[in-house]
Amino acid sequence: MNKPVVATYWKRVNIAEVADYISDKFVPAKTGSQTIKYIGLEHIIAHENRLTRHGLTADIMSTKMRFHRQDILLGKLRPYLNKVVLAPFAGVCSTDILVIRAKDDIMAGFLLRVLSSNQLVSHAVESAAGNIMPRTSWQYLQTYQFYLPPLLEQQKIAAILASVDEVIEKTLAQINKLKDLKRASMERLFTRGLEHTEYQSSPVGNIPVGWEIKQLGELLTNIVGGGTPARNNAAYWGGDIPWATVKDLRASHLSMTAECISDQGLYHSAARLIPANTIIIATRMALGKAAVFDRDVTINQDLKALFPKANIATEFLHQWLLSQAPLLASLGTGSTVKGIRLEVLTGLKLALPPLHEQQKITSILVSIDTQIKVRQAKLKHIKALKKALLQNLLAGHKQVLRKI
């Protein structure tokens, strides 16, 4: 590992010198009716040092491990996921989690950062045994060496990173609040519209007077599928034509795809070139996902491109499809891979307002999308800042230490 640029007074230590592995077993059958908080790997967010939620011991049957508040919980299964968190309470955890307790000469908050650093993760991955379910171990982790600053500097470093975590938490809360607003707005706007006082009954419930009930198929001029060029022909791949699969549909508005094909790949396959700003929907796997690309793309066989008629705005239809994601997912059939039949998709009913109201509704929803994107970009920037800070602070860089 790299020696600190300065801070020569920092001590070189290994994990075992500053922390203990805690192996305090918890047997559910011996606790009677007592309910204790439980943390499994599924509760720890990868790479983010935080929990999504927690479970309860009433829901578990097998032996677990006890931990105290301020212990470090480190996921030993698939260590590359970097699932490490500072326990906010006492409880029990999965046996696929190592319970690590800081000794007197290291702060728990600082130890957390060491155990979630890129260097420690690489060290853990090197030691992992098993190809399908790789696991690291305390026996190997305890040998990891790093430079330990005095407690006062540890406190300052931990405080800086904790403040960044706080900004991340607040930004995530803002994003989630906006997503909740978007869901509530879609539910209201696609059924109640804007400032209506008179309603009529319909197959989808009460809708504003003047709106019509249409099947999706009635509102489309065409539905176009796609295909995959032969993988064994290198000339078909690596071109400059974006080729979309369900894995690319990670947002509602997109620019690029993970893979591109060549002109030959397009010509010699069932792939079709789809114009920019066309709705692309998943009809096999990841049902409920829909996106619009800002450039021409090709699609594979799991996707369909929808071309609306003039009486429905493209973005209105796109937003409506996004609002129907849970329904679309529930309509999938198939024993292993779920797909939705075209007759089921085109048979979906929607309440159609006049074009001018469609545009107003779309404007409201797109405005919320824009606010979400701004905060997501901020979140991405903050996470990159945290990563750089963690690297520099743990390395003892002179220019960073002078500022703390």
Among 4-13, 47-56, 145-154, 223-232, the least confident range: 4-13
CA 283/CA 3 separation, integer angstroms = 54
Tell me the two tokens of residue 325.
């994601």
Boundary (domain end) residue, out of 119, 148, 177: 148
**Per-residue model confidence as pLDDT tens digits over 198-215:** 999 999 999 999 999 999
**DSSP conformation class of 211:** -
Task: Give yes or no for a contact between 241 and 262, defined as CB atoms under 8 angstroms apart.
Answer: yes
Q: What are the pLDDT digits (tens) for 378-388?
A: 999 999 999 88
Is residue 321 within 8 Å of residue 290, measured between CB atoms? yes
User: Which residue stretches of 132-256 are H helix?
Assistant: 138-141, 151-192
Domain CATH code at residue 69: 3.90.220.20
pLDDT, tens digit (0-9, with 9 covering 90-100), for 301-342? 999 999 999 999 999 999 999 999 999 999 998 878 889 999
Q: What is the DSSP letter of 396?
A: T
Residues 6+ apart with CB under 8 A from 261: 229, 236, 237, 238, 239, 241, 243, 269, 271, 298
Residue 78, Cβ neighbours under 10 Å: how many? Answer: 20
Q: Which residues contact 129 (CB under 8 A, 6 or more apart)?
A: 135, 137
User: Which residues touch 280 (CB under 8 Å, ≥6 apart)?
Assistant: 244, 249, 274, 290, 291, 292, 293, 297, 299, 303, 304, 305, 306
Average predicted confidence (pLDDT) for the chain: 92
Q: What is the pLDDT of residue 132?
A: 83
Q: CA separation (Å) from 3 to 8, 17, 147, 250? A: 9, 19, 8, 40
Residue 303 and residue 295 in contact, taking contact as beta carbons nearer than 8 Å: no
Is residue 313 one of the residues assigned to a domain? yes
The rounded Cα 194 to chain-centroid distance in angstroms is 33
Residue 276: closest CA among 305, 301, 250: 305
Provide DSSP, 280-314.
EEESBSSTT-EEEESS-EEE-TTEEEEEE-TTS-H
Quick count: other Cβ atoms within 10 Å of Cβ 142? 16
Determine whether 184 is exposed, middle or buried from the number of CB atoms within 10 Å of its CB (0-12, 13-18, 19+). Answer: exposed
Q: Does some domain include residue 136?
A: yes
Residues 237/246, Cβ–Cβ less than 8 Å = no
What span, in angstroms and rounded, lies between the C-alpha atoms of 62 and 170?
36
370 within some domain:
no
Q: How far is residue 227's CA from residue 264's CA, in Å, rounded to a whole number?
A: 13
In a domain, 125, yes or no: yes
Q: Residue range 161-184: average pLDDT?
A: 95
> Does one domain contain both 144 and 225?
no
Q: What is the DSSP letter of 4?
A: P
d(CA 38, CA 58): 9
3-state SS assignment for residue 272: coil
Do residues 189 and 364 touch, judged by C-beta distance below 8 A? yes
* Backbone dihedral angles phi then psi of residue 5, each to the nearest 5 degrees: -65, -40
Asked if 348 and 235 sit in the same domain, the reply is: yes
Task: Look at residue 379 and tell me if it is in a domain.
Answer: no
Tell me which amino acid residue 399 is: Q
Name 6's Cβ contacts closer than 8 Å, sequence gap at least 6.
Answer: 396, 397, 398, 401
Q: Is the CB of residue 235 less than 8 Å from the CB of residue 265?
A: yes
Task: Answer whether 353's CB lies under 8 Å from 211's CB.
Answer: yes
77-91: pLDDT as tens digits: 999 999 999 999 999
pLDDT tens-digit readout, 1-53: 444 454 678 899 999 999 999 999 998 876 555 688 999 999 999 998 999 99
**Does residue 222 share a domain with residue 324?**
yes
134 and 43 share one domain = yes
Prediction pTM value: 0.81
Shared domain for 55 and 139, answered yes or no, is yes
Lowest mean pLDDT among 70-74, 218-222, 335-339, 354-358: 335-339
Phi, psi of 119 (to 5 degrees): -65, -45
The pair of structure tokens assigned to 315 is 């973005």
112, 128, 148: which is the final residue of a domain? Answer: 148
Question: Is 137 domain-assigned?
Answer: yes
Q: What is the tally of structural domains in the chain?
A: 2
Same domain, 136 and 221: no
Claim to verify: residue 140 and residue 221 sit in the same structural domain = no
What digits encode the pLDDT tens for the residues 257-296?
A: 999 999 999 999 999 999 999 999 999 988 999 999 999 9
What is the pLDDT, as a whole number, of residue 1? 47
Residue with the larger pLDDT of the pair 292 and 399: 292
- 124 with 238, same domain: the answer is no
Do 217 and 143 fall into the same domain? no
Non-local CB neighbours of 104 within 8 Å, separated by 6+ positions? none
Residues 345, 283 contacting (CB under 8 angstroms): yes
Dist CA 186 CA 362 (whole Å): 10
The reply to whether 197 falls in a domain is: no
Tokens 């059958």, residue located: 29
Tracing tokens 């490490």 back to the chain, one arrives at 84
Which ranges of 324-354 does DSSP label H, i.e. alpha helix? 325-330, 342-346
The parent domain of residue 324 ranges over: 212-352
216/348 same-domain check: yes
Question: Three-state SS for 189?
Answer: helix
- The reported pLDDT for the residue numbered 402 is 58
- Residue 130's pLDDT band, with cuts at 50, 70 and 90, is confident
What proportion of the chain, given as a percentage, has pLDDT over 70?
95
End residue of a domain, out of 148, 167, 191: 148
Report if residue 380 sits inside a domain: no
